[in-house]
Amino acid sequence: MTVRPDRPEPMNAVPVRHPGRWVAVAVMAVLAAMLVHTIVTNDGFGWPVVGDYLFSPPVLNGLKNTLILTVLSMAIGIVGGVLLAVMRLSPNWILSSVAALYIWVFRGTPLIAQLLFWNFLSALYPRLSLGVPFGPEFVTFDTNQLINQFAACLLGLGLNEAAYMAEIVRGGIASVEHGQTEAAGALGMSRAQTLRRIVLPQAMRVIIPPTGNETISMLKTSSLVVVIGYFELLTSVQRIYSVNFQTIPLLIVAAIWYLALTSILSVGQGFIERRYGRGLQTGPPGPSLLGFLRRRPEEVAA
Amino acid sequence: MTPMVEALGIHKRFGATEVLRGVDLVVQPGEVSCVIGPSGSGKSTLLRCINHLERIDSGRLRVDGHLVGYRERNGRLYEMRESEVAHQRRDIGMVFQRFNLFPHKTAIENVMEAPVVVRRQDKAAARARAVELLDRVGLADRRDNYPSQLSGGQQQRVAIARALAMSPRLMLFDEPTSALDPELVGEVLDVMRGLAREGMTMVVVTHEMGFAREVGDSLVFMDEGVIVEQGAPREVLANPQHERTRSFLSKVL
C-alpha cells in the first residue's frame, strides 16, 4: 500500500528469515506427493469399488440409521443431561445425590454392557407395568415387545450420554458468574426464570464445544449397537465386505460418510457458537456468515 | 409515617466470623442514606440483607413495614417461599459494584428483561419505557450495544436504568463507583444525584465522601459490624464524635 505524505516514514527493516519453515514445507510437500502417488497407483484402494458402493442402498440404509441413532440419542442425552445437572446443583441433597449416583453408574460401566443390559432387560423383568407402587397394576406390557432392539439402542446410547452431558452442563452453569444470579434475583426473577433466561444462555458458550465433540463421537460410538444385532453405517459395510472381501474399499466408503457428517456437524457447531457468543466478543453484534472471508482492513494493509 | 427501611438488632455471621453485630438503622421515605466505613466493616452485608440476598441470623428487618424474607403470624416467624422473596424484591432495586449486566443482552434488552419476564409487561410498552430510562441516564444512542461494548461508567448507568425499570420504591447501591476509572465516576454520581432530587429513597454504600456530603440526608459510619456513628453528613464529616470515625476519615479525606 502507498504511504500517504502525512504518515510517518515506515520502518524499512529487513525481516527475520525463517529457514526452518522452508525445510518443513519441503518435507511436507514430499510426504504429500508420496501419499497422492500411492493412493492413485495402489490398486488395493479399489476406488472403482468405493464408487460402486458409496451410494448403494445397504450403505445408505446404514447411514440413515447412524443419523437417526445419533440425533435421537443426543436429544435424550442433552435433555437428560440438563435435568441431571440441575438436580446435581440443587440445594436438595437427595436430588443431588441421586444425580451423582446416576452419573457414577452410567459413566463407570462400559457402554457395551449397558446396551446389552437394555437388550436383555426381559431376563430381569419379563413384564413391565404401570400402576400404583406396591399396589394394583393398570397396564402390563411384555418387555420384549415394549423395548425392541431400536429402543434398547436409544436407551443404551441416550442414557449413557446423559451422564456425560450432565457433567458438561454442570461445568457450563458453574462457569457463569454468581453475580448474574444475584442481579437476576435482585430484579425479582425466580430461580427457574434466572436459569432459563440468564444462566443457561451464558452457559451455552461453555457447553457447546464439548457437546459438538460428544455429537461427533456419538456418530461413531453408535456403531457399538452391533453387539445387540442392530445395524448402522459401519455394520452395513462390514456385512458387505464379509461377503465380497473388499475390506479396504468398503472401509473407505464408511470413512467418507463419517467425514462428511463430521464436517457438516462442525459447520453447524460454528453457527451455534456464534449465536451464543453474542455480546461476549467485541465487534459488530450478530453472527456473520462469511466473516472469515472478510479480512479486516489492518490485515489487508499488512 | 412508616419508615422505608427499619432494621433492628441485625446480626449476621459467616461461619465463625460475625459480620453484623447488632445493627439498628432507619431510613425514611425519600431519604438518601450513605453508609461508609472500612472494608470488612459489614456495610455491604447490611445492604445485601435489606433485599434478602443474605439472610439475617437475628433481629428484625422491615422494608415499607413488611418483614423481609419472613412472615410473622401469632408471634411466630415463618420463612418465606422463594417466590414470595422474589415478589418482595420487585420493589427493591439494587446496583452492584461490578454492574452485573447480562452480557448476552443489549443495553435495552437488559432494561426490558425484568419488566417483561417478572411483571409480564407488554413488550412494546417495556421497550418504550426502556428507551425513556436509557435516555434519562444519557445512553439513548447506546441502546443496541452489548455491555462489552460500553465503558464501565456507561455499564453502571445501564444497570441503574435496569433497576429503575421495575419502578422500585427503594434503591440500594453497593459501592456503585468503586470499580470505575476515576474519570467515569462523575457520570454515575450525576445520575444518582438526579434520582435523589426526584425523591427516590436510597441506601448508598460508598467511598465518595463528596457525594455523601452533598447528596446524603444522613451518613452512617460502620466499623466491625456495628454502626459507630450516624447523623447529618456535614456534621459527621466535619466533626466526628468517635475516635474510630476520626481515624477512618483522616485516612480517606
pLDDT value of residue A4? 61
Q: How confident is the model at residue A143 (pLDDT cuts 50, 70, 90)?
A: confident
Q: What is the pLDDT of residues B94-132, one digit of tens each?
A: 999 999 999 999 999 999 999 999 999 999 999 999 999
Q: In this structure, what C-alpha cell is assigned to residue B67?
A: 418483614
Hey, what long-range contacts does A106-111 have (CB within 8 A, 24 or more apart)? A106/A159, A106/A160, A106/A162, A106/A163, A107/A160, A107/A163, A107/A164, A107/A167, A111/A156, A111/A157, A111/A160, A111/A221, A111/A224
Of B51, B113, B148, the CB nearest to A186: B51
Looking at residues A10-16, what average pLDDT do you find? 87
Are B106 and A276 an interchain contact pair (Cβ–Cβ within 8 Å)? Answer: no
Percent pLDDT > 70 in chain B is: 100
pLDDT value of residue A2? 54
Percent pLDDT > 90 in chain A is: 66
Looking at residues A41-62, what average pLDDT do you find? 91
Which alpha helices (H) appear in B26-149, and where do they start and end? 43-50, 82-89, 107-117, 123-136
Q: In this structure, what C-alpha cell is assigned to residue B90?
A: 420487585
> What whole-number distance in Å separates Cα of residue A274 and Cα of residue A285?
10
pLDDT value of residue A3? 53
Output b/e per residue, A70-85; b: 16+ Cβ within 10 A. Answer: bebbbebbbebbbebb
Please report the residues numbered 51 through 70 in chain B whose beta carbons come closer than 8 angstroms to any beta carbon of chain A. 51, 53
The continuous run of DSSP H or E covering A217 comes out as: helix A200-221
Identify the three-state secondary structure at position B221.
strand
Single pTM value for the model? 0.82
A157: nearest Cα among A260, A65, A292: A65
How many other β-carbons are positioned within 10 Å of the β-carbon of residue A256?
Answer: 13
Distance from CA of B236 to the nearest CA of A (A): 31
Q: Is the pLDDT of residue A1 over 70?
A: no
Cβ contacts (< 8 Å) between A179 and chain B: which residues?
Answer: 96, 98, 100
- B33 and B216 Cβ atoms separated by less than 8 Å: yes
Mutate to test the interface with A, among B87, B100, B116 (most CBs of A within 10 A): B100
pLDDT value of residue A295? 43
ipTM of the modeled complex? 0.93
pLDDT value of residue A43? 87
Rg (CA), chain A: 27
Q: In this structure, what C-alpha cell is assigned to residue B155?
A: 455499564
Read off φ and ψ for residue B53, nearest 5 degrees: -70, -25
Q: Is the pLDDT of residue B228 over 90?
A: yes
Cβ contacts (< 8 Å) between A284 and chain B: which residues?
Answer: none
Are B53 and A185 an interchain contact pair (Cβ–Cβ within 8 Å)? Answer: yes
Distance from CA of A274 to the nearest CA of B (A): 12
Q: How many residues does chain A have?
A: 302
Are A187 and B148 an interchain contact pair (Cβ–Cβ within 8 Å)? Answer: no
Residue in chain B closest to A180 (alpha carbons) equals: B100
pLDDT value of residue A285? 44
Looking at residues A200-217, what average pLDDT do you find? 93
Q: How confident is the model at residue A140 (pLDDT cuts 50, 70, 90)?
A: confident
The residue ranking higher by pLDDT, A124 or A162, is: A162
Are B102 and A185 an interchain contact pair (Cβ–Cβ within 8 Å)? Answer: no
A241: nearest Cα among A63, A67, A46, A40: A46
Looking at residues B79-84, what average pLDDT do you find? 92
> What whole-number distance in Å separates Cα of residue A169 and Cα of residue A80?
10
pLDDT value of residue B243? 94
Read off φ and ψ for residue B223, nearest 5 degrees: -155, 135
pLDDT value of residue A201? 93
B166: nearest Cα among B87, B103, B48, B66: B87
Cβ contacts (< 8 Å) between A287 and chain B: which residues?
Answer: none
Q: How confident is the model at residue B136 (pLDDT cuts 50, 70, 90)?
A: very high
Looking at residues B135-148, what average pLDDT do you find? 95
A243: nearest Cα among A34, A56, A115: A56
